[in-house]
Structures are given as structure tokens and as C-alpha cells.
Structure 1
Amino acid sequence: MTRFCVLTIGKTHSGKSTFARSLEQMCQNCIVIDQDQQAQFLYDSYSKLIPNNGENTIKYKLTETLVQYAVDHTKFHIVLCNSNLNEFNRNRLIQRFNNSGFHIIIVKFDLPIEILESRMNEARRDTSILRTVQTFKDVLNSQKDYQLKKSVEHAYKEFYVTNEIQVDSVLSELKNLLNG
């Protein structure tokens, strides 16, 4: 059986989590692992363990544990939902899944900044998961220099979403691919 890892890449409020949840509803044989959910869980249940400075090691370890369990003990396709903007870490992740026999599907969300800002103003997301900044606007400002280039050297398939209209067609194509 061919297994896929769908890797979402994009700035804050670009629609990665909404996309991942929609895909999971369409495909019974996939699981979403969303780092924002892990951050919220840690904040709600184990806030004393979250480091005040430096990397949020516990969040990354929790994600790693969930991913490893899904790889080793299930037959699910895995949808990894976080920004994945750091190219070095993203390539390590891709290599890890390739070594585990997964085919990589990359979905890059590169929406105009005006749309992201509008979504931020409308969403009013809980900022409790933020550690190093105060607002999602601060997060977006820290991500402004990231450029999402088309590159398929590590991917079985790559999608490049530059407007909201494209999301449904990408979901439809992935549904067909993942449901085999």
C-alpha cells in the first residue's frame, strides 16, 4: 500500500489547518498532526513544562512522538500541519518520510499578505499558544521574508495555492489520490 505524507507549508492564517481538517474529513484513511493543537494542549494541560525561552522542545517532541506512532502503528496517510517554512527542517522531515516509504505531497499556501491580514482581523484566534511574540500579526511579520518557491525535487506531487479559489480543486485531487 502506498502511503502519503501531505506537508502543508505557509504563513500564519494561510488556511493550512482548515485545509488539513477538510482533507481529513474527505479521506477516512488519513490523520492530521497539527502543531497548533499540540501547543494548545500543552498550554491547557502542562503549561509549567513549556520553556519560557528558546525552542519549544516539548511541543516538537510531542509532534515527533505522534508522527512516529502514526508511521509505525497505523496505515494512515499523514497530513502534517504547521508552517514548515524553515527549508533545512522541512528537508529533514521530507527525508525522514521518504526513508519510511512515504510519498511526499507538498501543498504550499502563498496567499497575498492582504488576505492573511484580513483573516487575522476576522479570526480572533487565541494567542495563548504564542510564546515569543504577542500577536499573530507579530508572527506574520517574522515570516514576511519567507519566499515559497516551486520546487518538486523531493515531492511526489506539489500544489501551489495562490488564491482561495484553488483550495477546492486541490482538495478534490488529493481526495482522489489518497482514497486510491
Structure 2
Amino acid sequence: MRRLVVITVGKTHSGKSTFAKELEKQLSNSLIMDQDNHAAFIHTYYPKLQPTIGLNKLKYAISQLIVDYTKENTNFHLIICNSNRSKAGRKYLLEQLFPKGQFIRIVVHFHIPDEVLQKRIKSTQRSTNILRSAKDFAEVLARQNALSIYEDTAAPTADEADYLFTMKNNEEVDAIIKRIVQLASG
């Protein structure tokens, strides 16, 4: 059995975590790897180790350890639930960590309009303890939009992975999950 890796791509509050949790319920033998959980863990238990500027290398190291352990010691399908908006970052994931032939590589792009994201942010109950340099999720979205002018944050393309699904609204969730589950069963 070839394992699946499902990589979510999207801005804050686009539905990546909700989708990942629902997919994990329906895709047997799967595991979510979500860097927001690692950020919350560091914030709660190791706040002195959080960098004040630059990359959160500890968060990335924890994520890498979990991926490596899962790949080497389990046969779980992996659901990588992060923003993954950088083309270079996706390339690293898809070519180095999850190479063609070893995994069925699936990208799910959450292409949700900003107006919807802004409404979700206004009514969110999510803790901001995962944030280091932004005061709230509205600021995160504003920063993501500012970074979108750079080529490296380009939307995923069909040639990046074995399968690309683009989600434009919540009504597509069930159909995409069903298709991914079908891919897992051959």
C-alpha cells in the first residue's frame, strides 16, 4: 500500500484544520501534523525558547521530528495541516520529504475569498497563543495578503503533486474528502 500525504495550502481561517480533522476521521490509518499545535506547545511549556524575531526553528524541528518518526515507524497516511503557501516550502515537502513513488502526494488548496476569511476571523474562538509577532488573526491575514505579491506565495499548480484539489467554499469539503478516501483505497 502506498501512503498518502495530504498537504493543505491556504490563508488563516480558510478551513485547513477543520478539513484535516474531518479527513482524519474518514481516512483510516491517518495522522494530522499541525504546526499550530507545536506553536501552542512551545508557547505553553517553553515560552523562553520562542524567538522574538525570525523563524521559529524549534517549531520546525518538532514538526520535522514528528514527520520523520511517522514515516520511519508507522504506516500512517499523513495530513500536513499548515499554510504551506510558499512554493519553495511545498517543493521541499513534495520532493524531499514525500518523494514521488513513495507517497501519493495530494495538495488541497483553500482558495477562499478574503471577505469570508474576515468574517470568520471576527467570530473566531481560536486562541491567539500560537501567534508570536501578530496581535490577532486579522493582522495575520493582512500580512499574508501583503506577502501574496511575491511569486513564492503563488497558488499551487497541478504539476506540483500527483493530485491537486482547489476548495472555493465549504460545500466542496465532503466531495474532496470522499475522493481522497477513494485514492487511499486504490
Q: TM-score range by the shorter chain?
A: over 0.9
Q: Give aligned-pair identity as a percent.
A: 37
The structural deviation recorded for 1:177 is 1.9
In the other structure, the counterpart of 2:19 is: 19
What SS does the corresponding residue of 1:149 show, helix, strand or coil? coil
Cα distance in 1 for residues equivalent to 2:101 and 2:170: 33
Once the two structures are superposed, residues 109-166 of structure 1 have per-residue CA deviations (whole angstroms, 9 ceiling, x without a partner) of 0101011011111113111111111111111011115365351113111100111111
Q: CA RMSD in A?
A: 1.5
What SS does the corresponding residue of 1:98 show, helix, strand or coil? coil
Which is worse superposed, 152-161 or 12-21? 152-161
1:29 aligns with 2:14: no
Cα distance in 2 for residues equivalent to 1:178 and 1:37: 26
What SS does the corresponding residue of 1:175 show, helix, strand or coil? helix
Normalised by the length of structure 2, the TM-score is 0.91
Cα distance in 2 for residues equivalent to 1:86 and 1:169: 26
Name the aligned partner's letter for residue 15 of structure 1: G
Structure-to-structure mapping, 1:52-63, within 5 angstroms: 52-63=52-63
The structural deviation recorded for 1:90 is 1.3
Name the aligned partner's letter for residue 28 of structure 1: S
1:149 aligns with 2:155: yes
In the other structure, the counterpart of 1:124 is: 125
1:176 aligns with 2:185: no
Normalised by the length of structure 1, the TM-score is 0.94
Is the contact made by 2:40 and 2:130 (CA closer than 8 Å) also made in structure 1?
A: yes
Flag the 1:177–1:45 CA change in 2: closer, same or farther, 3 A. Answer: same
Unaligned runs of 5+ in 2: none
Flag the 1:50–1:151 CA change in 2: closer, same or farther, 3 A. Answer: same
The structural deviation recorded for 1:41 is 1.0
Is the contact made by 1:108 and 1:160 (CA closer than 8 Å) also made in structure 2?
A: yes
Cα distance in 2 for residues equivalent to 1:61 and 1:129: 16
In the other structure, the counterpart of 2:136 is: 135
What SS does the corresponding residue of 1:153 show, helix, strand or coil? helix
Is the contact made by 1:9 and 1:107 (CA closer than 8 Å) also made in structure 2?
A: yes
Once the two structures are superposed, residues 16-51 of structure 1 have per-residue CA deviations (whole angstroms, 9 ceiling, x without a partner) of 000001010112211000010111111111111111
Flag the 1:150–1:49 CA change in 2: closer, same or farther, 3 A. Answer: closer
Name the aligned partner's letter for residue 123 of structure 2: E
